[in-house]
Structure 1
Amino acid sequence: MKKHKVVYRLQRTKRKRAYVTAKREITFEVKLATRLMLDEFYFTWNKNRLEVLINECIDNRDEERFKELSAAYRPYILD
């Protein structure tokens, strides 16, 4: 495993003392992994929500709303 470089950002505090604290920044890999997990979560949640709404339209025989929702659902099924 290669070593990761740690970046520190120095900040002044708002207290009366004049000293500097160091904070460790979040690495790019952690930011990327978090973003990918959130994207997958939103994709799955939106797809499931649209499936439920489409099924309700089928049960209620609401053809206009079904067409709107199925158009919104198309990007989720294209691979």
Structure 2
Amino acid sequence: MKKQKLNYQLKMLRKNNQSELKAKREIPFEIRLASQLLLDDLCFRWNKARLEKDINQSLDEQNEEAFKELSKTFNSYIWES
């Protein structure tokens, strides 16, 4: 993987008539990608667990209509290629 370039933003801040420059470094691509993948996985697992709970609840209540609707949604979480 190519090494990412660093970009700096220089901002002029004035406090008490003194000039200060602050440089801000961008977050590397690898860290942003890993963070996004982690968040996606956490959301996927949470949504899947919530759907399983709702399906089990509809079975306990013998609500066939809710079960069919939830199971259709759940199929996208268990699909494998």
With the length of structure 1 as denominator, give the TM-score of the two structures: 0.85
> What is the aligned-residue identity percentage?
46
Q: Cα deviations across residues 6-37 of structure 1 (Å, max 9, x unaligned)?
A: 33221122534333211121111111000000
* Unmatched runs of 5 consecutive residues or more in structure 1: none
* Unmatched runs of 5 consecutive residues or more in structure 2: none
Partner of 1:75: 76
Partner of 1:23: 24
Structure number with higher strand proportion? 2
Please, what is the CA RMSD of the aligned residues?
1.7
Aligned length: 78
- Preserved CA contact (<8 Å) 2:11 2:23: yes
